[in-house]
Structure 1
Amino acid sequence: MSDARPKRATEPSGPSPTEPGTALRVAVVLLVAASGAVETISFTALDHVFAGVMTSNLALLGMAVGRAQATGVTAAVLALAGFGVGAAVTAWFTRRPRGEVTRWSPPVLWSLAGEALLLAAGAVTWALLDGAPGPLARDVLQCGAALTMGIQSGAMVAAGHAAAPTTYLTGSLATYIVKGVGAGRPNRWVPARLAALMVGAAASMAVLRNAAAWAGVLPPVLVVCALLAAGVRRGGAAGPAR
């Protein structure tokens, strides 16, 4: 007689290749911390606009126009232009190889490496100016800071499901509340990213207050650490960061 007992489904011996991997999740958290550090310098030490939150800059631009404040208009426009150029160049550079779920494509990694180099150049310039740039230098640094955040945002979009937002987290917070807490499936990495934003901003502010000339060092260091984390491959692949 044939064995009529139902066969048990084979249990997976390890994590699915499409499940989130720690390496890329940590890389995304580090990039969020870097963006928090950049935003602190941009808003408090440059011209009171954001380097990566363009919706807020549009509001700031509208307020500056309403007050007929030329300085505020210039700063907001420079930030918007820098971010747009950074995102557009990254979109062009990464348009062919699409990021996979299990890893970041080489163009994404090279884009982030370019961001780190630009941030390092800004840090050197900031140090040479002793943390007190003049009006022209502030404009250049403001546009450059927004350029790096545009590159980072573009790289994360190009990485697709292997990444998550790193410069603007309002949507992440709303999704976490509605689809996570509200549906009983909270993702612990969303609070980790939100905390990283605050930690990066706090650390940058502390350096600005106590050693202003070194304030630009933290963002490139964090981006380099993110690149190193993204290069960690466990079990042949790292998973998505969502």
Structure 2
Amino acid sequence: MSTPLADPPQTRNPYALSRLAHLAPMLALTFTTGIVDAVGYLGLDRVFTGNMTGNVVILGMALAGADKLPVVGPSLALAAFMVGAIVSGRVLRTAGTGWTRRTTTMFAVVAALVVLTGVLAAVAGRPAEPVALTITGGLAFAMGLQAAAARHLSVADVTTVVVTSTITGLAADSWLGLRTGQRWPRRVLAVVLIAAGAFTGALLLRVHLSAGLFAAAVLIIAATTFGHAVTARDVRRSTEAEGCGR
């Protein structure tokens, strides 16, 4: 009998997993990305640690000398994000489909990194540039891990780090556009949640730079625990049903 949440190489997950086990955590992680990006942009010299499109645009304008925009921070965030995505993709390469133990591990590492950057921010107070860049790199690496793990789960319209494609689908598939069926509730939720996360992150910055990071870490831990627990429950029920059918 297979071990619950095992990682069989290059095989499809044989269990019918609850869609809620994937969707709800991804929406929660979208909210946390809003918090982390607000902390990065407002507290770490206009750097996005989750939204790499923003960093590419900022970097392009900065290279043109516009408005004294930062170059080092966005460049570091881009590089760290890509490394994180590579690491996560490598780990999940043979993990099979669906939520597995490796998926849980990736999100747990994300939470740990966000906690560590929060601790560093708390100790540093108003961080000097080297410390600020360390926090930026750590957060971007964590968001790269998260984005690649979310991509592996393939929850439609919820990438956890950007909502441009989600907004495009919401408008293009609407009654005024293609008039095709669409998952508009999750699309609207994804957009609203990342905005609400940014709003929350901006408010928490009034308390301290680390406040938003600790709040984001708690939510990441909760989302990961929920996803893992619901998946384990579905695997257990599937295994019991298979046993009864024999």
Aligned residue among 162, 166, 172 for 1:168: 162
Aligned residue among 149, 152, 157 for 2:146: 152
CA shift for structure 1 position 163? 8.3
Name the CA shift for 1:191/1:125 in 2 (closer, same or farther; >3 Å). same
Deviates more, 1:190-199 or 1:25-34: 190-199
RMSD: 2.4
- What is the aligned partner in structure 1 of residue 187 from structure 2? 190
CA shift for structure 1 position 218? 1.1
Matched-pair contact (CA < 8 Å) for 1:127–1:216: no
- What is the aligned partner in structure 1 of residue 240 from structure 2? none
- What is the aligned partner in structure 2 of residue 10 from structure 1? none
Matched-pair contact (CA < 8 Å) for 2:48–2:55: yes
2:206, 2:114 → 1: CA distance?
20
CA shift for structure 1 position 210? 3.1
Matched-pair contact (CA < 8 Å) for 2:104–2:228: no
Deviates more, 1:196-205 or 1:176-185: 176-185
CA shift for structure 1 position 155? 0.5
1:91, 1:77 → 2: CA distance?
21
2:64, 2:164 → 1: CA distance?
26
Name the CA shift for 1:46/1:95 in 2 (closer, same or farther; >3 Å). same
Deviates more, 1:200-209 or 1:30-39: 200-209
Aligned residue among 19, 39, 47 for 1:41: 39
Aligned residue among 23, 26, 35 for 2:24: 26
- What is the aligned partner in structure 2 of residue 214 from structure 1? 211
- After TM superposition, the structure 1 = structure 2 runs for residues 44-123 of structure 1, keeping only pairs within 5 Å, are 44-67=42-65, 72-100=70-98, 104-123=99-118
1:134 counterpart letter in structure 2? A
Q: Is 1:226 aligned with 2:223?
A: yes
CA shift for structure 1 position 160? 2.7
Matched-pair contact (CA < 8 Å) for 1:98–1:158: no
Matched-pair contact (CA < 8 Å) for 1:99–1:108: no
1:158 counterpart letter in structure 2? H
Name the CA shift for 1:98/1:161 in 2 (closer, same or farther; >3 Å). farther
**Secondary structure of 2:127's aligned partner:** coil
* Greater Rg by CA: 1
**Structure with more helix by fraction:** 2
Task: Give the number of equivalent residue pairs.
Answer: 217
Aligned residue among 113, 128, 131 for 1:134: 128
1:178, 1:115 → 2: CA distance?
33
1:149, 1:212 → 2: CA distance?
18
The runs of 5 or more residues in structure 1 that have no matched partner are: 1-16, 238-242
**Secondary structure of 1:72's aligned partner:** coil
Query: Identity over the aligned pairs, expressed in percent?
Result: 24
